Structures are given as structure tokens and as C-alpha cells.
Amino acid sequence: MTAEISNLLLGPRPIWPIEIVRGRNDRVWSADGQSYYDFYGGHAVALTGHAHRRVRRAVLRQMRQLIFYSTSTGLAIRNRAAEALVRRLPQGLGHVFFSNSGAEANENALKIALKLTGRNRLLAFQGSFHGRTL
């Protein structure tokens, strides 16, 4: 990545002087052909590795039907995912909440905690990471 391009991009941390151009399973490759193990794990909700055959097939199958729709309506694939997750939860836990990022998940966890406890204050730690939206 050229210095000119990296100077155009804003972010919460420095941008490394490397350009990743492709990935396969647990490895990524830079523009100069160097291969790396990907210990990054994915950003937001993308932690399935790179171009895994089964994930690719499932994504393509779903994209042929519908890429995204609001959580305000029923959606068969979301319902199946919720049922599969609830079956794996410990006894007494029977609900799931889908969101598209860690920030959303954290914000909603805070809202749920306040609602369930009836409290209106939170303890927060200065300098801790909770997401990028608050």
C-alpha cells in the first residue's frame, strides 16, 4: 500500500504498510506474494477464515435467495440459526440476539443488563474497548 493511499484512510489505529490481496483458510497473501498465517481472526463478524469451501457454498446459496433483510420480519435462515444456537445454550438460557458487530453486541448487552436489573447507571473503565460507536 502506498503512503499516499494510507494517508487518505482514517482509523482507530495505524495502517500497516502491507496490502493483503487474497486469503485461503488460515492464510493470507500480500501484494508482493508473501504468505502469512492470519492470526487476526476477522473483523466484526468475519471470523470464518478465508474462502473455505463449505462457507463459500453456504454464502452463495443464500445470496441466490436473499442477501439481507431487516430483523423486524421473520426470516427462515435466521430462525434456523437461532434454533441451532438455543439448542446449544445452557439450561435456562433460551434467547439469542443477532447483531452485525461487536459494538452493537456490547451496546445491546448494556441495554439488556439495565433493563433486567432495573438500574440506570453503569460502571465503565476509562480507556477500555467497548466498540467504536459510543
pLDDT in tens, 87-125: 999 998 898 888 877 778 888 888 989 999 999 998 877
Report the first-to-last Cα separation within the chain, whole angstroms. Answer: 30
- What CA–CA distances, in Å, run from 76 to 3, 82, 85, 103? 46, 10, 14, 25
Model-level pTM?
0.60
* Local confidence band at 84 (pLDDT 50, 70, 90 cut-offs): very high
Q: What is the mean pLDDT of residues 24-29?
A: 91
Among the four given CATH numbers 3.40.50.460, 3.40.50.300, 3.90.1150.10, 3.40.190.10, the one describing domain 1-67: 3.90.1150.10
**CA–CA dist 39, 31 (Å, integer):** 18
Q: Write out pLDDT tens, residues 29-71.
A: 999 999 999 887 666 556 778 888 998 999 999 999 998 888 8
Q: Mean of the pLDDT values across residues 76-80? A: 92
State the span(s) of the chain assigned CATH 3.90.1150.10: 1-67
